[in-house]
Amino acid sequence: MRLKRQWLLLSLLVPSLAAAHDLECEVSINEQSTLVVREYPATLTFRQVVRNIHPTLPSTLQEATDPLLEPLGWSFTPPPPVAIPVNDSRTYEFSVTVESLEDCARIGQVPPSESVEFTDTLQIGWDQGMATCSARVQCVPADTFVCDDTLYVSSSAGTSTELMPLDPTTLATTPVSSSTGFGYDAMGLSHIDGYLYAISNRNLSGDPIPHVVRVDRVGNIEDLGSLPELAGQEWIVGTIMEDGSYVIGSFLGSQWLRLNPVTLEVLGQGTLPTTTPTAWAANPLDNKIYGYQSYLARMSVFDPYTGDFTVFGPVLGNVGIQPCSCAFQQDGTFLLYCYTSDPTVDALFEVDLVNGVATLLGSTPSLAAGDMASCAFPPAQGATPAVRPSGYYMIHEAALERCLASGPVKLGLLPAVVTKEDALRLLWSSPAFTLGGEHRSEEQAARHALARQTLTGVCNQRLFGGTPELQRLLLDTTTTLGRTRAMSRLERHLGEANGRGLDVALPFSLRGRATPSHALEQLQPRSSP
Amino acid sequence: MKKQTCSRILPLVALLWGVGLCACGDSAPELQRYELRLQGTTSRFSTTYLSATAVQVTLGGAPLRTELLPSSQRMNVANATHAHLVAHFWLRPEQVREGALEATVVLDDFGAFEGTDGSAGFVDAREAPLRLKLQGDALERNGRAVIHIDLDRSIGAERQGSRPLLPHLRLVY
């Protein structure tokens, strides 16, 4: 009897001892749990609240950590240990200024991309317990170029470059941005993402190899890095093709490269049979590059997909043997901007590509050696097209049925996805295990993850039209079969491409009901996708 | 018999701890298996499916032997009556106080939810590994740590049919 009473006493005592301290936390950023930053600079105020939720006793906060903010000088104030009375809390605010999208990625400790997202997590500890709480920041581009017929010219000297719109009627220029760290050339303005891509042949990084840079409308420059293929050449011409690939040409070696400007993958390369044109631009009407052969004073046309290169038309005597730059208008008008025999004056011509006649539009005081770019191809729907990540397809069976109605989706070495059930089995199984519960090897996991993104990408194309970037990456999936690292890299790029249009609403006809539990019921672990 | 046990443990201990010595006497250390579980609480969601793809448990920064289990797949964490077994990990009981015990659970990119209000969508867990500090003595006493995830606060605002996972966690034993 006595023993029983002791047990009773103990059982009453133990829970209260175990919960002698009890805390919870809360994080908000500018008073929101998910903050979207669209303008820069922006001030982010992280508000962290630690609350005592013990009904009758004070609780002592023993530890507070925030791995994201600690490198920025954060330390919870008042510093632990701190006793928090009943019904009370401690609030700490910490502010950070985000200068740009790139800066947002730096603060978030994530790779720079077009939409940077990161999570801030506060972890608190007390005697016999811990808790975490989180909030998210999403940074989107401040200022991409509006894809219209604006002509942009650059004026570059050494490691400095000024970028300015050129009015083809008045030939007036208005500086929009300048850089002292990157002397860039070979510009191409992408209708896919609204950024201007260029090669910085000279910069302050100390790297002798030229770098690919990305410039936004307000002049922020992101150094995208270098490639061994860029070494030893000065890249003077650049243009964006209809599929968003970036084609550049070098001055002395007459070399050309076709790049994916986002991933810096080399999609094609070669050497031109003659000197590189000093000006080239992709024609929106036939997706070929038209250039001016300065030493011949004639026009050329180049197809970077076949390597075909032809010089055509008469000698343009009124343009002469001068370095030029050029750009297309969206209606196919070809504009050529050249030095003249007078070193203080530049001239703008319109060249008729059918009869090869150059018409002088006007002249203007000379700019330093530069390039010209325009957004020649119409932007895809004026904005990012809607695409959805694999999570969408996990729970939208009708979307999967519509996607597969136009045929099976081939997945390289893995079996093709034929039925909705095949697709659901692939989407709902993780890279870690098969549906049957077998561990996947590292290689199998990479193959599975890539297959999931491939199915998602193909369905994005079939249902929503997809994007040229997606099309290009899906082409790569058909050739990437082997190495785990290559598969993982491609999987990451595809994942980004599949997630890029998440903020864009779907067309009404494609909105369907999400049915997660029903989708899960369709899984039958008879095979192991 | 004793010798055999020791020779079996020796490489494992050496591998895990970088310690080249093993006390091959009567007190040969036995690794004990511990559980890491995940359980959710919610009043807003009738189902929430999440899968784990990787788990790591470290002692003083050094990785312990861990095993992610098939029961970590497609866990309905909105079911508050079940603590899903995510992983096993191994260490000697006396080690629990030898250094900071930390666990990280990486979730698969996407999960799914159904709200009690009839809404449904997918959970974006790409940015949300679950990071935890374990209390060694509580772990030793109970043989397991249960991650409690407060889904009402962890599943963020809807964005075109998806909701981000912003982990709000507590650990119980």
User: Within chain A, which residues score under 50 in pLDDT?
Assistant: 1-19, 381-382, 526-529
Fold match, A16-139 / A151-381: no
A108 part of contact set with chain B, CB < 8 Å: no
| Structure confidence at residue A499 (pLDDT) | 84
Best CA proximity match to A276, nearest among A256, A304, A259: A256
| Structure confidence at residue B13 (pLDDT) | 39
Residues 307-326 of A with CB under 8 A from B: none
DSSP codes joined into one string, A94-148: EEEEE-SHHHHHHHHTS---SSEEEEEEEEEEETTEEEEEEEEEEE--S-PPP-S
What integer is the mean pLDDT of B61-90? Answer: 96
Rounded to a whole number of angstroms, the distance from the CA of B1 to the nearest CA of chain A is 33
pLDDT at B1 over 50: no
Cβ pair B135:A129 closer than 8 A: yes
CATH 2.60.40.10 fits A16-139, yes or no: yes
**What is the CATH code of the structural domain delimited by A151-381?**
2.120.10.30
Give backbone dihedrals phi and psi of B78, rounded to 5 degrees, phi first.
-80, -15
A20 part of contact set with chain B, CB < 8 Å: no
Rounded to a whole number of angstroms, the distance from the CA of B32 to the nearest CA of chain A is 21
**How far is residue B110's CA from residue B49's CA, in Å, rounded to a whole number?**
9
More confident residue, A424 or B7: A424
Give backbone dihedrals phi and psi of A401, rounded to 5 degrees, phi first.
-60, -45
Specify the amino acid at residue A258.
R
Cβ pair B127:A118 closer than 8 A: yes
Out of B51, B167, B170, the one facing A121 most closely (by C-beta) is: B167
Average pLDDT, chain B: 85
**How far is residue B68's CA from residue A78's CA, in Å, rounded to a whole number?**
39
CA atoms within 13 A on the CB side of A59: 31
Cα B159 off chain centre by: 28
- Map residue A349 onto helix, strand or coil: strand
B127 part of contact set with chain A, CB < 8 Å: yes
H or E segment to which residue A440 belongs: none
| Structure confidence at residue B69 (pLDDT) | 98
Rounded to a whole number of angstroms, the distance from the CA of A416 to the nearest CA of chain B is 22
Cβ pair A504:B161 closer than 8 A: no
- Map residue A160 onto helix, strand or coil: strand
A410 part of contact set with chain B, CB < 8 Å: no
What integer is the mean pLDDT of B64-90? Answer: 96
**Is there a contact between A201 and A156 (Cβ–Cβ < 8 Å)?**
no
DSSP codes joined into one string, A136-157: EEEE--S-PPP-SS-EEEEEEE
| Structure confidence at residue B163 (pLDDT) | 93
Angle at A278 between CA A295 and CA A468, to 5 degrees: 140
CA dihedral A199, A205, A208, A213 (to 10 degrees): -10
Kindly report the number of other CB atoms within 10 A of residue A256's CB atom: 23
Query: What's the longest Cα–Cα distance across chain A?
Result: 116
DSSP codes joined into one string, A219-253: --EEEEEE-GGGTT--EEEEEE-TTS-EEEEESSS
CA atoms within 13 A on the CB side of A132: 28
Cα A120 to Cα B54, B97, B112: the distances in Å are 21, 29, 22
Complex ipTM, two decimals? 0.83
Residues 120-139 of A with CB under 8 A from B: 121, 123, 125, 128-136
Q: Which residues contact A495 (CB under 8 A, 6 or more apart)?
A: A389, A453, B109
Cβ pair B124:A389 closer than 8 A: yes
- CA-based nearest residue in chain A for residue B114: A516
| Structure confidence at residue B59 (pLDDT) | 95
B120 part of contact set with chain A, CB < 8 Å: yes
B51 part of contact set with chain A, CB < 8 Å: yes
Rounded to a whole number of angstroms, the distance from the CA of A61 to the nearest CA of chain B is 14
Burial of A4 (0-12, 13-18, 19+ CB in 10 A): exposed
**Is there a contact between A193 and A385 (Cβ–Cβ < 8 Å)?**
no
Q: Where are the domains of chain A?
A: 16-139, 151-381, 384-521
**How far is residue A210's CA from residue A221's CA, in Å, rounded to a whole number?**
15
Tell me: the pLDDT tens digits for B110-152?
A: 999 999 988 899 999 997 789 999 999 899 999 999 999 999 9
Share of chain B above pLDDT 70, in %: 84
**How far is residue B156's CA from residue B162's CA, in Å, rounded to a whole number?**
9
DSSP codes joined into one string, chain B: -HHHHHHHHHHHHHHHH-------STT----EEEEEEEEEE-SSEEEEEE-EEEEEEEETTEEPPEEE-GGGSSEETT-TT--EEEEEEEE-GGGGGSS-EEEEEEEPSEEEEEETTS-EEEEE-TT--EEEEE-HHHHHHHSEEEEEEEHHHHB---BTTEEEB---EEEE-
